């Protein structure tokens, strides 16, 4: 893309990306405010995102240019315990969290949609009854009320790993990804999977999440 370039430093240690200012400003309210206002970054043509890793930023740039997110890879043997160890969805969570920080609603919704489609292997799109290919834009945010496919999947799986759950609990205070994790935990508890032995420390560290989980358990019980 033609026009002025700006520098974006990401991760720790820092990695520098030189990107077209027009692309960033067109696609992200955060970058638009950063480079078109009176902030110091606008005068020097550079900004820093130390909490966004290089791999995540590269995926965001690809999405800005193509409107597409990569489909997560499945584990070859499928023997791991947790959902996110069978299907490598952690990068999508990291993209989602970065999109929240960058105030990019479309990217956030895209990450959530592909996340659910990845762990369900496409079953949910057909069940919702929409002629939608989640791998092509525009991504559509549908209701996150648990579908039959989602509940059946959770009944057969022991939930997400403590690493992924902690990341969402600590970085997503009220968004769609937190809602997904709460739904998952409630279903896991109802179906008898051993949740506490893996996640007790998270609940101890974040009592507000434990309170939310109790509320979701009450709602989930009425759905069952």
Element (H, E) at 138: none
pLDDT in tens, 3-46: 789 999 999 889 999 999 999 999 888 999 999 887 888 889 99
CA distance linking residue 177 with residue 169, whole number of Å: 9
Band of the pLDDT at 166, cuts 50, 70, 90?
Answer: very high
Instruction: Using the predicted structure, report yes or no on whether residue 147 has a pLDDT greater than 70.
Output: no
For residue 78, report the phi and psi dihedrals to the nearest 5 degrees.
Answer: 65, 25
Q: Do 89 and 154 belong to one domain?
A: yes
Residue at a domain's end among 32, 50, 68:
50
Q: Do 110 and 17 belong to one domain?
A: no
Helix (H, G, I), strand (E, B) or coil at 5: strand
Q: What percent of the chain has pLDDT over 90?
A: 29
CB 186 within 8 A of CB 219: yes
Q: How far is residue 176 from each of residues 66, 74, 143, 194, 203, measured CA to CA in Å?
A: 24, 23, 10, 24, 19
Which residue from 76, 72, 108 is spatially nearest to 90, judged by alpha carbons?
Answer: 72
List for the chain the helix, strand, coil content (%; round to 5): 60, 10, 35
Q: Do 61 and 38 belong to one domain?
A: no
Which residue from 159, 158, 162, 160 is spatially nearest to 199, judged by alpha carbons?
Answer: 162
CA distance linking residue 124 with residue 143, whole number of Å: 11
Q: Return left, alpha or beta for 103; rule: phi > 0 is left, psi -120 to 50 is alpha, else beta.
A: left
pLDDT of 54: 95
Q: Do 91 and 198 belong to one domain?
A: yes
Q: Do 112 and 202 belong to one domain?
A: yes
Q: Do 26 and 57 belong to one domain?
A: no
Q: How many structural domains does the chain have?
A: 2
pLDDT of 52: 94
Given the structure tokens 């919704």, which residue do they identify? 109
Range of the domain at 125: 51-223
pLDDT of 130: 35
Q: Do 40 and 80 belong to one domain?
A: no
């Amino acid at each position: 893309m033609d026009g002025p370039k700006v520098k974006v430093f990401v991760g720790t240690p820092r990695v520098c990306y030189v990107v077209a200012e027009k692309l960033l400003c067109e696609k992200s309210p955060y970058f638009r405010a950063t480079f078109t206002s009176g902030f110091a970054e606008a005068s020097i043509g550079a900004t820093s995102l130390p909490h966004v890793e290089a791999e995540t930023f590269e995926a965001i740039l690809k999405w800005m240019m193509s409107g597409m997110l990569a489909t997560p890879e499945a584990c070859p043997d499928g023997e791991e315990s947790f959902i996110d160890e069978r299907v490598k969805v952690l990068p999508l969570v990291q993209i989602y969290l970065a999109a929240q920080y960058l105030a990019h609603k479309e990217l956030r919704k895209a990450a959530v949609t592909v996340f659910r489609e990845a762990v369900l292997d496409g079953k949910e799109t057909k069940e919702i009854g929409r002629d939608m290919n989640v791998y092509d834009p525009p991504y559509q945010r549908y209701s996150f009320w648990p579908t039959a496919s989602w509940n059946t999947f959770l009944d057969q799986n022991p939930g997400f790993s403590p690493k992924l759950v902690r990341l969402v609990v600590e970085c997503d205070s009220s968004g769609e990804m937190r809602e997904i994790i709460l739904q998952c935990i409630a279903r896991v508890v109802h179906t008898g999977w051993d949740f506490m032995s893996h996640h007790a420390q998270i609940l101890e560290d974040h009592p507000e999440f434990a309170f939310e989980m109790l509320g979701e358990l009450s709602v989930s019980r009425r759905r069952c």
